[in-house]
């Protein structure tokens, strides 16, 4: 998360924040669920439907006289039909219906209250009748022990159906077969504390019902909700907050980061700017907090601490803005990236994705990112929308201290589906470029360190693909000499980025051998298993750079600085620090951006924006390893990879995951 934190730690206070386990309010569960429904909500479309969970939804809907599409639509928004058996979310929610155990929420405020972080400027109306999908009440309604609803999928779905029916009766409405008659019951299901977010939730459920959905659950079951485009929703649009930069349909709040003098003419905790007039905004950086949100909201108000633009709450996706996007936050570990980026923190811990990386948070975050990308003309690709773990190290000495969040369990494939820019094959299997694209649900590489050093993590879907020195699984892992300058080997630790790539990253192919593909990675060939039937990467088109014919090697940088004579009198040029990697003749790296070198002079402080020094030297941004890097345009030639004649192949290539 932070710029000035210790190694491996997303946040200046990561170590001590791990103990700040304040119980979140179940009353606020899902008070902001705002998905971007820009394409069909389906995946694994070639798999045969598994009747087990499908039949559970059908039977429960019939038993409690709830339209099956309503029951399945609500469950999709609650959990995407995943069960995580016996594993609660951050607010104690269980199963496909995300039924909340009220006994795990003893510190919750009054259920009719607005978000405790909403702030006085938030335009929200309290919904006095709101309560979350209560597990205890659901158990009483179906006459089953509470424990069954925590661990048994059928009981959990029946409980959700019973709650919907009970709410419909409470509203004095019939148990109609028409899904449109259930709008208000759906809006009340998650127990949001404000009318605006409740209406957004219902709108999103009915969008899924109209469009249909299909996906494979975490239990490997294939579930389908047929499209019903004739269902007409009746959304009531929420008012736009006055003091925040958010999409109109999102309920946001404002909690200002301070800009004050902290001594020796130094100011914290952000940098005044006039973006995009003085510096174009090129990037959006995705972080996780490695802390509970209450702790982070205290941190953002400390002038000596790092800063970021937005916080996204795990339980319901509520967004809080802290810094105007025209100003630069101190969040990435690189002043160069800070000057060109917007930082978004997501409440959670990368080793506990099922608890913290909720569907509500993904959807709210994606809607915010899409809004910002449109506003600032930021491309929706993985060289412009990337994680804290992909930020280029500004200098060689900073490489070991760069951060690793949001980690291998962040679902980049699903996230880009929500952005309306799905990651997918754009060329055939024999193309000169590949995009890393494992099937998140079934791709479960081994990791250690989730519960203790060296302790194997529970198998879990992952965006990460591991790299080897040879095309065989017993080969050594690829090493990162910058991250481990002492020569230590890469490991399978969840925080070790030395030998892996991530979904959506695109690389030049360096070789193929049977089911294995090699890519150019930090100056070497790196191999990963890429089976034809279950590919972990798919064909891609685009542009690559390679050293000019008269150069045997080009220098790689972690920032794109202006040429020396671009600096005016009185402004000192920072020392260039090439990265300790080789980019040799014959190698190729994918580029998705060309930029002019720039530097923000922070030698003087005050309320005025810092001076931006812009040169004429141009650079290409490249996917050099797990992180991005830069090379001078004058050192390289551009090679294009057009679409090949053959169609994309393999199930991952045929249909994007959602």
| Averaged pLDDT score across all residues of the chain | 85
503-522 per-position pLDDT tens digit = 999 999 999 999 999 999 99
Those residues whose C-beta lies under 8 Å from the C-beta of residue 206, and which sit 6 or more positions away, are 73, 179, 180, 183, 186, 231, 233, 235
Do 365 and 348 touch, CB atoms closer than 8 A?
A: no
What confidence score (pLDDT) does residue 629 get?
Answer: 98
In angstroms, the CA 304 to CA 270 distance is 10
Per DSSP, the residues of 153-189 read HHHHHHHHHHHHHHHHHHTT----S-GGGGHHHHHHT
Is a pLDDT exceeding 90 seen at residue 264?
no
H/E stretch holding 261: strand 260-263
**Could you tell me what percent of the chain has a pLDDT over 90?**
69
For the segment 57-84, the average pLDDT, to the nearest whole number, is 95
Neighbour tally for 153: CB within 10 Å: 22
Residue 456 DSSP code: B
H/E stretch holding 520: strand 516-521
Sorting pLDDT into bands at 50, 70 and 90, what band is 645?
A: very low
Q: Say how far residue 627 (Cα) sits from the centre of its chain.
A: 16
Is a pLDDT exceeding 80 seen at residue 33?
no
Per DSSP, the residues of 80-104 read TT---TT---TT-EETTTTEE-GGG
Neighbour tally for 589: CB within 10 Å: 26
Do 168 and 182 touch, CB atoms closer than 8 A?
A: yes
For the segment 409-423, the average pLDDT, to the nearest whole number, is 97
Residue 184 lies in a domain: yes
Do 513 and 506 touch, CB atoms closer than 8 A?
A: no
For the segment 141-156, the average pLDDT, to the nearest whole number, is 94
Do 333 and 48 touch, CB atoms closer than 8 A?
A: no
For the segment 477-499, the average pLDDT, to the nearest whole number, is 92
**Domain endpoint, select from 178, 193, 225:** 225
Is a pLDDT exceeding 50 seen at residue 656?
no
Residue 457 lies in a domain: no
H/E stretch holding 592: strand 589-601
What confidence score (pLDDT) does residue 5 get?
Answer: 38
Residue 158 lies in a domain: yes
Residue 75 lies in a domain: yes
Residue 201 lies in a domain: yes
Q: Measured in Å, how far apart are the chain's first and last C-alpha atoms?
A: 26
Is a pLDDT exceeding 70 seen at residue 620?
yes
Q: What are phi and psi for residue 475, nearest 5 degrees?
A: -75, 165
Residue 415 lies in a domain: no
In angstroms, the CA 189 to CA 167 distance is 8
Is a pLDDT exceeding 80 seen at residue 107?
no
531-586 per-position pLDDT tens digit = 999 999 999 999 999 999 999 999 999 999 999 999 999 899 999 999 999 999 99
What confidence score (pLDDT) does residue 234 get?
Answer: 59
In angstroms, the CA 80 to CA 57 distance is 13
Choose the weakest-confidence range: 78-82, 129-133, 284-288, 571-575: 129-133
Q: Nearest 5 degrees, angle CA 395-CA 284-CA 211?
A: 145
In angstroms, the CA 481 to CA 400 distance is 10
What confidence score (pLDDT) does residue 242 get?
Answer: 66
What confidence score (pLDDT) does residue 119 get?
Answer: 36
CATH number, residue 149: 1.10.530
For the segment 209-220, the average pLDDT, to the nearest whole number, is 92
The torsion of the CA quartet 134, 136, 140, 141, rounded to 10 degrees, works out to: 10
What confidence score (pLDDT) does residue 233 get?
Answer: 67
What confidence score (pLDDT) does residue 469 get?
Answer: 97
Choose the weakest-confidence range: 91-100, 366-375, 494-503: 91-100
H/E stretch holding 310: strand 310-312
Residue 18 lies in a domain: no
Choose the weakest-confidence range: 149-153, 263-267, 532-536: 263-267
**Domain endpoint, select from 191, 209, 225:** 225
Pure H helices in 19-132: 51-64, 68-79
What confidence score (pLDDT) does residue 642 get?
Answer: 76
Do 610 and 595 touch, CB atoms closer than 8 A?
A: no
Relative orientation angle of helices 68-79 and 359-376, to the nearest 10 degrees: 70
For the segment 442-469, the average pLDDT, to the nearest whole number, is 96
Do 107 and 115 touch, CB atoms closer than 8 A?
A: no
Sorting pLDDT into bands at 50, 70 and 90, what band is 605?
A: low
What confidence score (pLDDT) does residue 453 get?
Answer: 94
Is a pLDDT exceeding 80 seen at residue 192?
no
In angstroms, the CA 51 to CA 213 distance is 15
Per DSSP, the residues of 362-375 read HHHHHHHHHHHHHH
Is a pLDDT exceeding 90 seen at residue 332?
yes
**Could you tell me what percent of the chain has a pLDDT over 70?**
83
In angstroms, the CA 531 to CA 514 distance is 8
For the segment 239-255, the average pLDDT, to the nearest whole number, is 77
274-328 per-position pLDDT tens digit = 999 999 999 999 999 999 999 999 999 999 999 999 999 998 888 999 999 999 9
Residue 30 lies in a domain: yes
Do 25 and 116 touch, CB atoms closer than 8 A?
A: yes
What confidence score (pLDDT) does residue 104 get?
Answer: 67
Neighbour tally for 119: CB within 10 Å: 19
Sorting pLDDT into bands at 50, 70 and 90, what band is 438?
A: very high
341-365 per-position pLDDT tens digit = 999 999 999 999 999 999 889 999 9
Is a pLDDT exceeding 50 seen at residue 218?
yes
For residues 306-340, b (16+ Cβ closer than 10 Å) or e, as one string?
A: bbbbbbbbbbbbbbbbbbbbbbbbbbbbbbbbbbb
Beta strands in 160-312 (DSSP E): 213-216, 222-225, 252-254, 260-263, 266-268, 270-271, 283-288, 310-312
Q: Which domain holds residue 602?
A: 547-641
Is a pLDDT exceeding 50 seen at residue 83?
yes
Do 118 and 252 touch, CB atoms closer than 8 A?
A: no
**Dihedral (CA of 317, 322, 326, 332) sign:** negative
What confidence score (pLDDT) does residue 496 get?
Answer: 95
Sorting pLDDT into bands at 50, 70 and 90, what band is 604?
A: low
Q: Say how far residue 17 (Cα) sits from the centre of its chain.
A: 21
What confidence score (pLDDT) does residue 580 get?
Answer: 95
The total of structural domains in the chain comes to 2
Sorting pLDDT into bands at 50, 70 and 90, what band is 235?
A: low
Q: What region, left, alpha or beta, does residue 487 occupy, with left being phi > 0 and alpha being psi -120 to 50 degrees?
A: left
What confidence score (pLDDT) does residue 103 get?
Answer: 76
Sorting pLDDT into bands at 50, 70 and 90, what band is 91?
A: confident
Do 8 and 404 touch, CB atoms closer than 8 A?
A: yes
H/E stretch holding 254: strand 252-254
């Amino acid at each position: 998360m932070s710029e000035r934190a210790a190694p491996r730690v997303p946040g200046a206070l990561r170590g001590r924040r791990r103990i700040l386990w304040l119980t979140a309010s179940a009353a606020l569960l899902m008070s902001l669920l705002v998905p971007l429904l820009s394409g069909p909500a389906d995946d694994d479309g070639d798999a045969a439907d598994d009747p087990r969970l499908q039949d559970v939804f059908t039977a429960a809907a019939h038993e409690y006289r709830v339209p099956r599409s309503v029951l399945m639509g609500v469950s999709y928004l609650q959990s995407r039909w995943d069960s995580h058996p016996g594993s609660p979310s951050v607010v104690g929610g269980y199963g496909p219906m995300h039924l909340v155990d009220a006994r795990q929420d003893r510190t919750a405020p009054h259920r009719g209250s607005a978000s405790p972080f909403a702030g006085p400027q938030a335009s929200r109306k309290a919904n006095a009748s709101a309560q979350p999908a209560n597990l205890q009440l659901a158990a009483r309604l179906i006459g089953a022990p509470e424990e069954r609803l925590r661990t048994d999928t059928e009981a959990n779905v029946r409980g959700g159906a019973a709650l919907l029916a009970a709410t419909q009766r409470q509203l004095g409405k019939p148990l109609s077969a028409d899904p449109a008659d259930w709008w208000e019951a759906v809006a009340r299901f998650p127990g949001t504390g404000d009318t605006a977010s409740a209406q957004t939730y219902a709108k999103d459920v009915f969008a899924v019902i109209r469009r249909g959905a299909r996906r494979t659950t975490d239990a490997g079951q294939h579930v389908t909700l047929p499209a019903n485009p004739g269902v007409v929703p009746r959304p009531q649009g929420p008012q736009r907050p006055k003091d925040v930069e958010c999409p109109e349909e999102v309920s946001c709040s404002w909690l200002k980061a301070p800009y004050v003098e902290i001594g020796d003419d130094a100011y914290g905790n952000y940098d005044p700017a006039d973006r995009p007039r003085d510096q174009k905004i090129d990037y959006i950086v995705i972080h996780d907090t490695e802390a509970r949100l209450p702790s982070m909201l205290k941190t953002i108000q400390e002038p000596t601490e790092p800063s970021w633009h937005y916080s996204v709450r795990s339980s319901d996706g509520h967004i809080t803005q802290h810094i105007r996007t025209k100003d630069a936050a101190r969040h990435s570990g690189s002043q160069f990236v800070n000057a060109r980026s917007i930082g978004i923190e997501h409440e959670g811990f990368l080793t506990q994705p099922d608890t913290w990386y909720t569907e509500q948070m993904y959807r709210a975050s994606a809607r915010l990112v899409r809004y910002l990308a449109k506003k600032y003309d930021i491309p929706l690709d993985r060289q412009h929308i990337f994680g804290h773990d992909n930020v280029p190290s500004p200098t060689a000495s900073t490489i070991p201290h760069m951060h690793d969040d949001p980690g291998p369990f962040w679902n980049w494939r699903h996230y880009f589906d929500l952005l309306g820019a799905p990651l997918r094959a754009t060329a055939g299997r024999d193309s000169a470029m590949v995009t890393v694209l494992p099937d998140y649900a079934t791709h479960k590489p081994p990791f250690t360190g989730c519960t203790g050093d060296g302790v194997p993590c529970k198998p879990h879907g992952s965006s990460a693909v591991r790299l080897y020195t040879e095309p065989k699984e017993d080969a050594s892992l690829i090493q990162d000499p910058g991250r481990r300058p002492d020569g230590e080997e890469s490991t399978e630790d969840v925080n070790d980025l030395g030998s892996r790539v991530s979904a959506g990253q695109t690389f030049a192919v360096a070789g193929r051998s049977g089911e294995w593909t090699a890519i150019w990675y930090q100056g070497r060939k790196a191999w990963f298993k890429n089976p034809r039937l279950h590919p972990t990467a798919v064909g891609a088109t685009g542009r690559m750079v390679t050293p000019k014919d008269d150069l045997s090697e080009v220098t790689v940088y972690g920032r794109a600085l202006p040429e020396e004579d671009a600096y005016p009198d009185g402004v000192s040029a920072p020392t260039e620090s090439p990265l300790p990697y080789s980019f040799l003749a014959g190698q190729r790296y994918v580029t998705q951006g060309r930029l002019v070198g720039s530097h923000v002079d922070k030698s003087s402080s005050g309320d005025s924006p810092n001076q931006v020094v812009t040169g004429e030297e141009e650079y290409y941004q490249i996917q050099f390893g797990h992180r991005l890097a830069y090379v001078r345009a004058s050192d390289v030639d551009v090679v294009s990879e057009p679409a090949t004649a053959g169609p994309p192949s393999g199930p991952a290539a045929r249909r994007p995951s959602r």
